[in-house]
Amino acid sequence: MDIGPIFRAMTRNKLGVILIALQIAFTMTVIINAIFIINERSRLMARPSGVDEANLFHLVSVGFGEGFNEEIAARDDMEMLRRLPGVANASVVNAVPVSGSGSGTGVRLTDDESSPSNFTAIYRVDEQAIDTMDLDIIAGEGFTIGDVRNRQRNSEAVSDITVLTETLARDLFPDEAVNDVVGNTVWVPGGIPLQVVGIVRQLQAPWQNNTIERSMLVPENVIDGSSMYLVRSEPGQRDRVMAEVEEALVAANGSRIIRDMRSLEETREGTYRIDSAMSTVLWVVIITLVFITSMGIVGLAVFGINRRRKQIGTRRALGATRPQILGYFMVENLLITGVGVTLGAVLTIAFSILLTTNFNMPAMGWHYTPLGMLALLAIGQLAVWGPSRGAARIEPAIATRSV
Partner 1 sequence: MPIYYLRLAALSYKRNPVLSTLMVLAVSIGIGAYMVIFTLNYVMGGDPIPHKSEQLYHVQLDISEAGQDRQAPVQLTYLDATALMESAPAQRQTTTSKFGAILEPGNPELRPFSILGRGASADFFPMFDVPFIYGGPWSGDADDNLEQVVVLSRELNEELFGGQDSVGEQIRLHGTNFTVMGVIDDWNPVPKFYDVNNGPFDSGEELYIPWPLLVSMELSRSGNTNCFQAVEGSGLQAFLNSECVWIQYWAELPTAADRATYQSFIESYAAEQNALGRFQNDLSRNRLYDVEEWLIEEEVLPDETRILSALAAMLLAVCLLNTIGLLLSKFLGKAPEIGVRQALGAHKGSLFVQHVIEAGFIGLLGGLLGLAVASFGLEGIKILLGDDVMMTNWIQLNVPVVIVTIALAIVSTVIAGLYPIWRACNINPAIHLKTQ
The site for partner 1 (CB under 8 A) is made up of 15-16, 19-20, 22-23, 26-27, 29-30, 33-34, 37, 62-66, 113-114, 152-156, 188-192, 224-226, 257, 259, 270, 273-274, 276-278, 280-282, 284-285, 288-289, 292-293, 295-296, 299-300, 303, 351, 354-355, 358-360, 403
**Shortest reach from residue 185's CB to partner 1, in Å:** 17
* Nearest residue (CB) to partner 1, 137 versus 343: 343
CA 174 – CA 217 distance, rounded (Å): 20
**Shortest reach from residue 331's CB to partner 1, in Å:** 20
* Nearest residue (CB) to partner 1, 10 versus 355: 355
* Nearest residue (CB) to partner 1, 103 versus 237: 103
Cβ proximity of 122 and 113 under 8 Å: no
Query: Which H/E stretch holds residue 291?
Result: helix 273-307
**Shortest reach from residue 86's CB to partner 1, in Å:** 26
**Shortest reach from residue 133's CB to partner 1, in Å:** 24
* Nearest residue (CB) to partner 1, 136 versus 283: 283
* Nearest residue (CB) to partner 1, 199 versus 222: 222
* Nearest residue (CB) to partner 1, 2 versus 66: 66
Q: How far is CA 21 from CA 90, 293, 331, in A?
A: 61, 10, 14
* Nearest residue (CB) to partner 1, 48 versus 67: 67
**Shortest reach from residue 348's CB to partner 1, in Å:** 11
How, if at all, do strands 56-63 and 215-223 pair?
unpaired
**Shortest reach from residue 297's CB to partner 1, in Å:** 9
Alpha helix segments (H runs only) across 145-237: 166-172, 178-181
**Shortest reach from residue 292's CB to partner 1, in Å:** 6
* Nearest residue (CB) to partner 1, 105 versus 184: 105
Residues 6+ apart with CB under 8 A from 263: 56, 57, 238, 239, 242
**Shortest reach from residue 308's CB to partner 1, in Å:** 14
* Nearest residue (CB) to partner 1, 192 versus 399: 192
* Nearest residue (CB) to partner 1, 252 versus 355: 355
Cβ proximity of 292 and 273 under 8 Å: no
**Shortest reach from residue 66's CB to partner 1, in Å:** 7
How, if at all, do strands 226-233 and 56-63 pair?
antiparallel
- Chain centroid offset of residue 217 CA: 25
CA 107 – CA 34 distance, rounded (Å): 38
CA 105 – CA 118 distance, rounded (Å): 8
CA 92 – CA 351 distance, rounded (Å): 47
**Shortest reach from residue 369's CB to partner 1, in Å:** 16
* Nearest residue (CB) to partner 1, 101 versus 179: 101
User: Whose CA is closest to 245, among 269, 229, 226?
Assistant: 229
Cβ proximity of 206 and 96 under 8 Å: yes
CA 100 – CA 402 distance, rounded (Å): 75
- Residue 154's SS3 state is coil
CA 388 – CA 300 distance, rounded (Å): 12
Q: Taking the CA of residue 149 as centre, how many other CA atoms within 13 Å lie in the half-sphere pointing to its CB? A: 13
Sign, Cα dihedral of 394, 396, 399, 403: negative
The residue count for the chain: 403
**Shortest reach from residue 267's CB to partner 1, in Å:** 11
User: Whose CA is closest to 35, among 287, 340, 275, 282?
Assistant: 282
